[in-house]
A = this chain, B = another copy of it.
């Protein structure tokens, strides 16, 4: 069977590692290039010893070069930091490649908002309208013809999927949404910094960047579209002593009393055709382990009649669904493959 050659730019972080894990056993996408200036010349398995024994592990790391990538791939995954990704994107698109950018550089439609939250001027604002936000449940049709996908952030994936049915159906107030999100440590990346050492994270828990996290405008952009109103959210991340997983507990106010059974039915109908969104039975709540290593987004629903609130809890794997797996789903669609090619992954339990 003919497979589609793809490239990976950026191999030193966890999203690159997760892309390699998924592509190593993907039936239709074949990793043919992996780039890193620092590691050029080594086989990929020298960086990722767990890939020993897989053809992907034998791919020789090269210095990034657009012409070479264009000659050897049809699509490239960019797993480099925001700020750096935008120039790569422009260059690779110009070379005729399709691009899935895992950074934040093309997620915000408004370059001014990008500048305000990321402290950087966008150098390729003309490309912003071309980018499709890579959430398959919302944009599958557009992704099929996209040349550039802005792969969603991990927290936004967990929040947007959790609120889409409630907002689209006008169930909840748009001016009183609080997201209390908790993420595993892989979300912080693989850079060697003291606060992410084992002994600084293990057996502890902390909040960070309350009200100020850069995923906030991305969440607000998509929620506003879904709710048909300008939505400001209170988004508040926390660091869990786990490898993978995001659990978001989202507090909303019902505009009118509604039973949890009715809310659940509405959610279940909304996601009836979405293979990865699992709306849990009433009384069940998500756990990050149930989605570990997979594309699932588990959603639990609670109506608290004492306070008139609908509480939505969602769980995803931040690396797979929240980053690299979602990137592969987008690449699948962009390549004419079924969205779930290579992504029919069973959760790792325990």
Contact = CB atoms under 8 A, between A and B. Distances in A.
Contacts of A17: 349-350
Q: This chain: how many copies in the complex?
A: 4
Nearest to A276: B53
B234 A309 contact: yes
B207 A247 contact: yes
A201 B198 contact: yes
Interface stretch (A34-42, A59-67, A149-157, A236-244): A236-244
27 contacts: A22-B346, A25-B345, A49-B284, A50-B289, A50-B290, A52-B278, A52-B280, A53-B276, A54-B346, A180-B180, A180-B249, A182-B238, A185-B198, A197-B198, A198-B198, A203-B242, A204-B287, A204-B292, A205-B242, A205-B288, A206-B247, A210-B304, A211-B304, A211-B309, A232-B306, A292-B348, A293-B348
Given A53-B278, A190-B194, A311 B243 contact: no
Contacts of A201: 198, 202
A147 interface: no
A286 interface: yes
A51 B346 CA distance: 7
A233 B308 CA distance: 11
Contacts of A193: 192
Interface of A: 14, 17-18, 21-22, 24-25, 48-54, 176, 178, 180, 182, 185-186, 190-194, 196-208, 210-211, 232-234, 236, 238, 240-245, 247, 249, 251, 275-276, 278, 280, 284-293, 296, 298, 300, 302, 304, 306-307, 309, 311, 313, 344-350
